[in-house]
Amino acid sequence: MSDRPIRALVVDDVEDDAYLLQAELAQRGVSIEYHRVDSEIDMAAELASGAWDLVISDHNMPGFDALAALEVLKRSGRDIPFIIHSAHISHQLAVSAMYDGVHDFIPKGQYERMVPVIERELRGAQARRAVRQADDRIQQLSYYDKLSALPNQNLFCDKVTEWLNTSQRQGRTARGALFVIDIDRFLRVNASFGYEAGNAVLKEVSQRLTEVLQSDVLLARLGGDEFGVFVPGIGERQSAEVFARWISKVFDSPFMKDGIELFLTPSTGVALIPTDGTQVYELLMSAETASAHAKKRGGNGFLFYDRTMNAASTERVALESDLRHAVERSELFLEFQPVIDAQSGTIVSAEALVRWNHPRLGRVPPDRFITLADETGLIVDIGAWVLNEACRCCRGWHVAGFSDMKVSVNVSAVQFGQPRLLEAVRDALNHSNLPPKALMLEITESSLMQDAESTAGMLRALRNMGVRISVDDFGTGYSSLSYLKRFPLDVIKIDKSFVRDLCVDEEDAAIVRAIIALAHSMRRSTIAEGVETAEQVEILKRENCEFFQGYYFGRPMDIERILERLEAQKVQA
């Protein structure tokens, strides 16, 4: 037993008997502080207001007895040892009372026997408390998010399911809305300020949502930067839209980090009951699908679930699965678009373009599967295959007698951010035995500017290998000219969007002239993309653009067709 006195609630109609109990126990080393009650009302009040270790009850009292006192204790919900201490209760009734919940029965005056019983029951109560605390902790870990203290996905789903089942039992048509909130581009917070800052922001989001939502609304952190909200009773799309806009207001004020204002936006998906489902996981999946579509549209908005979204998602999952096996099943192949020297009019290089011949869908458009490969990270393996295949093909042109021929390969932003890129380029060159100067890597302007310092280091490492570098789609990004000047670039490719209207749009013509002049000032050569007419060729020649690429000189073609064109050039020469 602890050093502090035991707090005992004594149920007895005689004050002297209660005092005698305290004195006798004290002589035997058991210190108690007691409060005496002798009615149901007084006992209930003490149980509600006090922290008691023990209840010791007489049996026969005017208008009250031990069994009635036991019922008062049960109604209180408190787990407190209950001992009958009475001279006026039959053995049979005492045993029956113990079956009802009395912990022990001690005849009045047997204080020596009372001491071990008290010790035993207090140890038992302490053990039960420890078990409850452990259970509470397990409950906390199982059903509550450690970071935000909000319900987690398990509890969220259980509560929504319970609400749906109650509605069904009561014969009511369940109506409500489930919202999934995904924070747009949240990874930038972790990447820029660290995970502690990201956790602090998530806590503040949780607090803001808790403050604006009413008590009958269920809020949960589903995981990562995703939150769930369930609103019972919403039956109309218009009401759900008002609620979604109200959620968005939580993000209107900036989140502060070290004096810096961080502006975050949500992508919210909405699923309605019963339109979009009557089971919690069906509703959750629908809302998550709508949230993902909202994010694809640029975020900072909300979308209601539509069944066509699910069809698109299913198709996307199937396409991703097929794309994962495309390399090993030899479904990918390359086509090459020739690059023409402006002065000689001959093919001097070719851009390798990956194509996918799907066994069921046929040729899948590049803009459909390249984007998917980027988003899923598959572009790293596909890009390595393209590098190897392009170098092999270019080496084949060299063996056929066209040793000045070069090949260019597009490198996505995902690939460029991978340290494995250097290894992949080195392996492709080694396996094909292609001279490094025959390979040019094309990197988009926006990819170059994502992390200028790291970019400069990667480009220098590639240039040290002897590989040439071009910046693709130039003019469509937001480049800093000071950074571009520092990058070890060989070629600037003028985006086709400027070349297309070159002959009719003076603004585009001025942009093209400026890009060519800029490139020459930095001792870079230029390639004009998307050249489709003789008029465009003449203007570009006049501005001293060195190389052309576009349908005017040939659409993407297979390796054999490139070889035929090279052979024809040789004959004409």
The residues, any chain, with a CB within 8 Å of residue 544's CB and separated by 6 or more, are 516, 520
| Whole-number pLDDT of residue 464 | 93
d(CA 54, CA 32) in angstroms, rounded, equals: 10
Examine residue 148 and state whether it is found in any structural domain, yes or no: no
Residues 106 and 242 in one domain: no
Supply the Cα-derived Rg of the chain in whole angstroms: 39
Pairing assessment for the beta strands 6-11 and 32-37 based on DSSP bridges: parallel
- The pLDDT confidence band at residue 504, using thresholds 50, 70 and 90, is confident
pLDDT at residue 501 in the model: 87
> Could you write out the DSSP letters of every residue in 200-259?
HHHHHHHHHHHHHS-TTSEEEEEETTEEEEEEET--SHHHHHHHHHHHHGGGSSPEEETT
Mean pLDDT calculated for residue range 507-515: 89
136, 180: one domain: no
Beta bridge partners of 301: 267
Residues 385 and 459 grouped into a single domain: yes
Whole-number Cα distances in Å, 66 to 13, 62, 232, 350: 11, 11, 46, 98
pLDDT computed for residue 558 by the predictor = 92
What 8-state DSSP symbol labels residue 89?
A: -
Q: Are residues 448 and 526 in the same domain?
A: yes
Residue (of 318, 273, 325, 316) closest to 296 by Cα position: 316
Residue 351 vs residues 228, 253, 317, 405: alpha-carbon distances, Å: 47, 48, 30, 11
Among 494, 442, 447, CA closest to 471: 442
State the CB neighbour count (10 A cutoff) for residue 199: 14
For residues 466 and 554, what is the distance between their CA atoms, to the nearest angstrom?
A: 29
Query: Does 456 lie in the same domain as 534?
Result: yes
Same domain (yes/no): 383, 335: yes
CATH code of the domain covering residue 282:
3.30.70.270
Domain count, the chain: 3
> Sheet holding 6-11: strands in order across?
32-37, 6-11, 54-57, 82-85, 104-106
Is the residue at 182 inside a domain? yes
SS3 10: strand
Indicate whether 80 and 192 sit together in one domain.
no
146 occurs within a structural domain: no
162 pLDDT above the threshold of 80 = yes
pLDDT digits (tens, 9 = 90+) for 209-248: 999 888 889 999 998 899 999 999 987 899 999 999 999 9
In a domain, 310, yes or no: no
| CATH label of the domain that carries residue 325 | 3.20.20.450
Residue 93 has pLDDT above 70, yes or no: yes
What pLDDT score does 311 carry? 62
Q: Does a structural domain hold residue 322?
A: yes
Which of 239, 271, 305 is where one domain is finished? 305
**Any alpha helices (H) in 276-365, and if so which ranges?**
280-296, 307-324
pLDDT at 352 over 70: yes
- Give pLDDT, residue 478: 47
Of 447 and 563, the one with more pLDDT:
563
Q: What is the pLDDT of residue 138?
A: 66
Average of per-residue pLDDT across 512-520? 90
Give yes or no: residues 106 and 159 share one domain.
no
Whether residue 147 lies inside any domain: the answer is no
Is residue 561 predicted with pLDDT exceeding 90? yes
For residues 470 and 443, is the Cβ–Cβ distance under 8 A? yes
Average pLDDT over residues 136-153: 80
pLDDT (average), residues 294-303? 90
SS3 assignment, position 317: helix
pLDDT above 70: residue 313: no
Q: Which domain holds residue 348?
A: 316-572
| pLDDT value of position 551 | 94
Are 566 and 509 members of one domain? yes
Pair of tokens at residue 72: 């008062």
